[in-house]
Structure 1
């Protein structure tokens, strides 16, 4: 650097990718040619794949004969065949029918979905033309009174006056038990003594009443008040040959029959197609693309009904495959053409981007490039969108952009600041990253990472759940934050801010001047520990350098030191932060708010003049509502220290270390500072949070 001192010594940034850095035009031209070459290769690849897919799809249909031939095993059931199938038993869906999928479990009964219920399959009749299955509703018992013990549905569903088709229906010997749960005893007493009952095996010890299916229907007609009970009908299989009365056998007999299950008959709905197919040595199945349509798989391919028909070449599945392949080839050609167009457009856009890339973006990238790797993570803008859930929760907004709540992959909450209005050559971004990345103090907010993709710039900070200080001193605390801060807590916060400022002025290898100390830039963690944030206006200078040069005024109206906008008061230095801190200290006590309440809206009186006028009049400066001696002492101490900090000339202001001594020292040793020598030409609103360059 030609002997000049590097203003950012030993500052390092981790750069995970250089893909977003500007490339020279020759590099873009080469990239465009490579993309076009890749596109041409893609066209040939897509065409080859789609053209060769026709015989492949057709051969897969021919493989149906081999794949679906024979019996298969599922769980503890074997010798299974059409219409049943199971993906987890290597029996493809086209070997069966849509409603007959089994879910196999090792050495256990398989499951099947019937209607909206998952039933266990106890056995399937080995005679494929018997069409019988024994099913069980597992984990249910009458006496547990569970709300899961509901009516068993076999898939029939009534829509309006139309009943939709079900593949299953109850067997010949299935009877249903009518059970009344959660009934009032007065209802049952009106019914009569002929109703059987049992006691729930739970803490309620309620009585449950049950009858046969036919008796239940009669009772419901005779006693409409029973509709207020939970009324269900549960199927059981009771053989007439053994003469057992399930209802009369009591609760043990009921649960025994419930565990044995009930018989269900199923309907495939393919007429005589399967028997005709098997008679011609075919294998029954369904179409690969239409599971509701029967297919007969034969050695020469698939047929519509049996192996002797002549419809294999015109089978709907064959036509579907051909149509899909033709459509696929057409789509492939169109997609390939679009890819070529997109490549050309991308090439042109990249060239335009080179022309339109601002000098600011180039200088920021140069800064990042020239200061090599540190423990700051660089994120892509897509990662920023993910961690903020597309900027869903907005925490606040400042002069340079908005702040959103985010969450990292490890679950940690963060605050994401999106910079939308960079000043100068992106100096706000450089200032923030360069200054705060070299800090580590309990009263300075931690920067965890950043994002830099062209004009998309973001800073990722630790999350401060209690927001900024201005919410508490301006009565902005909402219902979600009912806690208010007393003066003693605000005093502790003021000392914490001073310690953070002392660290910036004296604790770092290089001195960091903040230039925007105000309540809005003080964040509070879950324990209300203050942390200085927003270093967009910060300036780094050697510790030995007392006076610095700034190209333009900076700061927030109401907190800007006089020398920032008028060099006649002195040079710009760390004392400029002291002035801003003093104004904030008086804000915390509430003095500027008191002035605004007493002064008219047209008052041109300068704020420090108003305080000294109150002192000359002998009026109390203690805020209303303070009664204890401790509160009076704290308020007076903060007011006097604040007045010292806002002296017009920097030479008269104390250092931040002296400020801490005065705040923590004896109140009796504090002297009243001299009256300011200047007046404001126009009264400045203290509450304004608008960041501006004066």
Structure 2
């Protein structure tokens, strides 16, 4: 808090307290509970400083929020009301046996007196006739069977009484008006305090308090009460004080909130920083994370994927690798490559398990599963995506592949780009997954050695199948991405033997033929602009599936083509090229025919 603000608040509080009449430790009014009588000078509550009340005017609050007046010789009376103007306090015996306390009461040392002066004498009379012969009041709470107790008013001459069967117990100074049967049996009565204490000060609406003097006897003084103008001024000051306090509290709360947010931000950063490298888990951890493999997401030749939970808010996908040949290399590829990859369009490897023969990979959980479900589904209409979203997905995938090729210390070749390996988060942002077939190479390396073909039929580049088409390089991923784009455009696999027309069996060639003769791709067109997006995706896809790697663009150029607004030119026809040998064929050989011929070579 600013020093000037603190000083202002201090001065303001000081002024406010002075306006309230000084002595902040002496409240001007108190109550025991919400409904009890008001407690103010000359009374004070037990525990408050002595100068807050006149000597002998001490009240206390019971557990039931009742007010108790304590008189000399331990006489305690329940306070029903306090009338300050007439200087009266209405009290009642708490146990409904006033006579028991009156036997010990002496008001000589107390500031209180009964409203009317008088005495009473208590007798124990064995004969009821004797008691009835004079003005006696039966006291049930002091009597026992065979020994009744009576009270006799002091004005009644005792010499006129037959006291032969009575025994005198004690005298008490009480008020004349209380001498009735109901008074001794629990009725409230009145005590008064002298006029010298405050006098008519309270009657005039003024304030009474102890006077500061050196005399032994306490003295009171009467000061003027708060005027209406002062009350208005105090109310205004009180309002500004309230506003000031609220402003300070809000400022402190905002400061604390900002500090808490900063602490949380630092904590999350450290947690994310620690999680940049995948953590190692035991197989027992894997079973706990997947709840004993309860929720199965999918299954393939590589293994089975289960949904898991690291915490209440963090869900993961756990891939349990099969115990078959090749898993060792696939596992190493996944951990080695993905452990260093951090990109918005690439799935994050959270952790792994290598516990004996048990191997597992833990990824971020993506609720919308793979792109394959959305572009190949013919059953669920809700699975279809609009062309604008398809274009966004295509750009995201292209940026992810470009990062693998240019953004890492070493170039990463994926070798298995296909719709099944493109996962979608809750906003349908694409993320490349499954790096089991990936290879690392330097950015200066123009060719990659490969003993066996890698990939999935329909997406494998020609050079991966036969070196006669050229060297295997990052351009092999460009070919796979081109095939993926064309499948996104057609909403079907590139080879579909179920179609009626044989000319549509190889879909990429069908697309090229339509665009080459100027026909529009009227595939799932619903809105204005869909035709241009479909055409752009098709042209980029055809540019990427050129037979020879040197004719394909880099992924950087692909991203520019997809994001650009200009008109794209048609690439050369990849299906009219000559075969890689020097012999020219009268009919070009389709790439998928090359793939089918070399399937036995693929591991």
TM (norm. structure 1) is: 0.43
Q: Which has the larger radius of gyration?
A: 2
Higher relative contact order (CA 8 A, sep 6+): 1
